[in-house]
Amino acid sequence: MTSSIGSQLSAVADGPPGRARTHRRLRFALVLLASIAVAAAMALAPKIYNASAAGFGAFSEFDGADCNVTVPGSWPSNSQLPDPFTTIDGSQVTTKDQWECRRAEIKALAERTIYGEKPGAPSSVSGTVSSSSITVNVSDGGASASFSASVQLPSGSGPFPAVIVYGGFGADTNTILSTGTAVISYDPNAVGAEGTSRNNKQGAFYSLYGGSSSTGILMAQAWGVSRIIDVIEQSDGSILNNYTGVTGCSRYGKGAFVAGAFDQRVDLTMPIESGTGGAPALRSIAQEGGSQPLDSAYGEQPWLGDAFGSYTGNPGGLPVDTHEIVGMVAPRGLFIMENPHVEWLGAQSGAVAALGGAEVYKALGVEDNISYHSNVSDGTHCATRSEWQAPLTQSIQAFLHDNGNGPGVINMHSSKTGNLAQWRSWTTPTLADGPGETTPPDDETTPPDDETTPPDEETTPPDEETTPPPTGDGCTAVIEVASDWGSGWQGNVLITAGSSSISGWTLTWSWPSGQQISSSWNVDVTSSGANVTASDVGWNGAIAGGATQNAWGFIGSGSATTPAVTCTAR
């Protein structure tokens, strides 16, 4: 095998498409804002895709500019994944608005040790957006540079959202176009060129900031994505609207991952088979046999910042890891796709990072906004895969068209499952609303007696209206419709143990009208006509007595339905 699967791909692409943003993005909002201010902010930023549950307001390229972040000169080594919710000074993040400045800390630490610095907004960005191309002209510090990208519009009338596709390799462009979304073809090498030495980097970024800049080309290319977004925002909005996604595969998957994490105006990030230097956890990569070693990824191309060279043999010395870069994308849409059949790509470490980053989404109350899928049958690198089509379509609809919810799919291949428990000693908080108080003062939460607690008979429905768990050794199960986008839907399966704990379960049901499961996760499932049989996969079989577990999920075809389910316990 060559030193990098990604090196088999030539860097092809010319230019993206564009359109202007007419409103600002969602950012963390203080819940103490007056209701009239909240209403005004929502009018300016209607794009909320479940972020309202997490208490978010408008996004800019980077929302942490007002945070007082001081990166220390040293930090303790840690063989496990660092705690995303512990700040540099050792305090705990307890509220959603505190996460904004914790995110700023993670950004600063990642720039210092992994990627190199992403400069702030240049002094001047200009350009044009047409139905076939975008031009970008940038000036900063007395230097200037230009690049362009091509645009492909879908059928119908715009303005359209757009997905920036790195190097011509990313999520299936036919699927993207079929959702009414434009494709911007971006040549990242025009901004940060491969095949250059670390002390003589080339491309538009380095024309401005110097070929000896310590910033790696992944961050330089991400800077280029941000400048494309700048030009789209400045346009008149007649061709492209204010929703933007980014995708890429292999080396371009690394780039898409970094671009989405470091620009909060990117609504949907879709890295594919990104390998070492992309989504996979760096600490885990060092222990995953067959995956590209850290020093190999560092030496193959100047993808990563110069400072990362000090950590290739000691990833435990890093103050951050990629699960926290995943967390930087929250609460925005993220769909990580991986190939478990090519060892070099480190899919198991990708699963570890996705599971760790999903804990940030969970803490913010937006679990549906992150998806991970490696359970595919075709091992061809950067292939178009049928297993990804439904969650890809649903993600684009949710985050670029404000239509429905994200898939919320975690579907790991059985040979490349991640075990987050092995990699963490921290726990996940439920972040509260507000500027720092998890529990408001009693006089604010407890109104006078005559306004608060109604009689018991009003707050507790009669027994016959509730569904108690089964008694004895047994279980019950229900299917809930998590999201429905017309041509398909996502079902989550909730299993409740009886008064005694169970060690495993088997479910059976019959579809009423031609539905079927097109993909599933965390389950062994077989279908025969309308009849379905599903069993646990070991680790998710045990359920404590009286407890309910969101045990597994699936993508279904046809109309959404919730048939009666029979649960047999073991």
Q: Which residues form the catalytic set? A: 250, 381
Q: Are 191 and 224 in contact (CB under 8 A)?
A: yes
Return the exposure string of 457-474: e unless at least 16 CB atoms fall within 10 Å of the residue's CB, then b.
eeeeeeeeeeeeebeeeb
Q: Tokens standing for 267? A: 């609504």
DSSP string, 357-374: HHHHHHHHT-GGGEEEE-
Phi and psi torsions of 423, nearest 5°: -110, 5
Measured distance CA(100)–CA(105) in Å, rounded: 9
Q: Are 320 and 106 in contact (CB under 8 A)?
A: yes
Q: Are 177 and 276 in contact (CB under 8 A)?
A: no
Measured distance CA(87)–CA(69) in Å, rounded: 10
Q: Tokens standing for 359? A: 């804990």
DSSP string, 339-361: -TT-GGG-HHHHHHHHHHHHHHH
Q: Please, what is the end-to-end C-alpha distance for the chain in angstroms?
A: 45
DSSP string, 176-226: HHHTT-EEEEE-GGGTS-SS--TTS--SHHHHHH-TT-S--HHHHHHHHHH
Residue with token string 């969650």 = 391
- List residues bridging with 494 in a β-sheet: 478, 550
- Residue type present at position 27: R
Compute the C-alpha angle 234/249/149, nearest 5°.
30
Give the dihedral of Cα atoms 248, 253, 256, 262; nearest 10 deg: 180
- Residue type present at position 261: A
Which of helix, strand or coil describes residue 249? strand
- Residue type present at position 498: G
Q: Tokens standing for 337? A: 């796709």
Q: Are 272 and 171 in contact (CB under 8 A)?
A: yes
- List residues bridging with 535 in a β-sheet: 506, 524
